[in-house]
Amino acid sequence: MTRTGDPLFDMFVTRALGLVTRGGAETGEVEAAVERVRPGDTDSWYAAWAGIAELVAAEGEASLVRGHRRSAAEAFWRATTYFRTSYQPLFGKPVDPRLTAAFARERECFSRMARLSAPPVVTVEVPYEDTVLPGYLCLADDGNGAPRATLVSVNGYDSNIHEMYWAHAIPAVRRGYVSLLVDGPGQGQPLVEQGLSLRPDWEAVLSRVLDFACTRPEVDPERLAVTGWSLGGFLAPRGVAGDARVKALIADPGQWDMMAHFPKELTERVADGDTAELGAFLEPLATSPVGRWKFVQRALWVHGVDGLGELVLDMARYRVSDVVDRITCPSLVVANENDPVSEQALRLHDELPGPKTLLRLPRGQGYDSHCQTTNRSGYDRLAFDWLDDVVKP
């Protein structure tokens, strides 16, 4: 497999390669970018990936000018991935202007792909407080125009709606579902361009998304399902609690209270509120390049805090335990043995009061990545077969 020799960079290379399966990348283009990267050098990383992205986007433009809409759409789709990959190591505050620029190009390329797509991918805006949240309504092309069962997707820490299109929308639309992709506060455009931080009470976000979904004639309001991947495996269960409109939930992977991932000696000190002491517990986790990216660059920015101690205090507010007794819809809880984020999946499953299924993904069957990014097809078969039985697309 293509590698740079840098653990942080290789994490993003693996992620980009996953999109090869649905046309979101090509191995040769990924290799061409990687060849230009020097380990540990974010400048060379950004230049390499942004360069490939611009090249592929220009190819899409050339095809479009000549009237080749499908070729153009495919190129814009791949350029979307490469622009996103270019800025991933740059996550953090203050926001690097290269990140802002690459995100704008990513969004532009995806929008151009969406306008050329069949079945249709419709740009939407979801009213939220005093602003709007960006989204896409991806339609099933069955020709009858009837309202369809709809899968609403909830994102995680560092993905966005463009990557969720690959993970959720493509398999959903293929099976006859409408797919609604929306980024909330702390994700995608709301984070990068609107400066909105993540919030623990995701019901305040998801309820607005569901309100919007129910206004669309393409959506059957009696067959709404919600899926969340990565941190969305926490946010989605939190968001659906007490909302009778949701007929099915998929948590991938299932998660419990955020502090359940940390040692007891840390959780016992949260009540004291000593940020210096709390931050000292996290510092060893943030010493490696990958750890620093996750805890210092990504988490501080997404949570809207300035230090590791403040981060601990904020993470302590993220609790499913407060609302789990109100999650009554049929639920599929994913527990991937290869994914450390799954360590609390069984706890969520056991605490759910409604109908529930635990989907165990064992080692040795290709599910060896976070959220099954190296085997989404295998995962989709299991998850959508379950969903088909519950909501009948």
Q: Helical H runs in 268-307? A: 275-282, 289-292, 299-303
What span, in angstroms and rounded, lies between the C-alpha atoms of 124 and 135?
Answer: 5
Query: Which residues fall within 8 angstroms of residue 284, CB to CB, at 6 or more apart?
Result: none
Query: Which residues fall within 8 angstroms of residue 190, CB to CB, at 6 or more apart?
Result: 131, 133, 134, 183, 184, 196
86 part of the active site: no
Q: Is residue 341 within 8 Å of residue 329, measured between CB atoms?
A: no
Query: Which residues fall within 8 angstroms of residue 181, CB to CB, at 6 or more apart?
Result: 135, 136, 138, 153, 161, 164, 165, 168, 169
Q: Measured between alpha carbons, how far is residue 234 from residues 126, 341, 344 in Å?
A: 21, 10, 10
DSSP designation for 165:
I
Q: Is residue 315 within 8 Å of residue 304, measured between CB atoms?
A: no
Q: Is residue 331 within 8 Å of residue 355, measured between CB atoms?
A: yes
What span, in angstroms and rounded, lies between the C-alpha atoms of 298 and 318?
Answer: 17
Query: Pick the catalytic residue: 153, 230, 331, 342?
Result: 230
Q: Which residues are catalytic?
A: 230
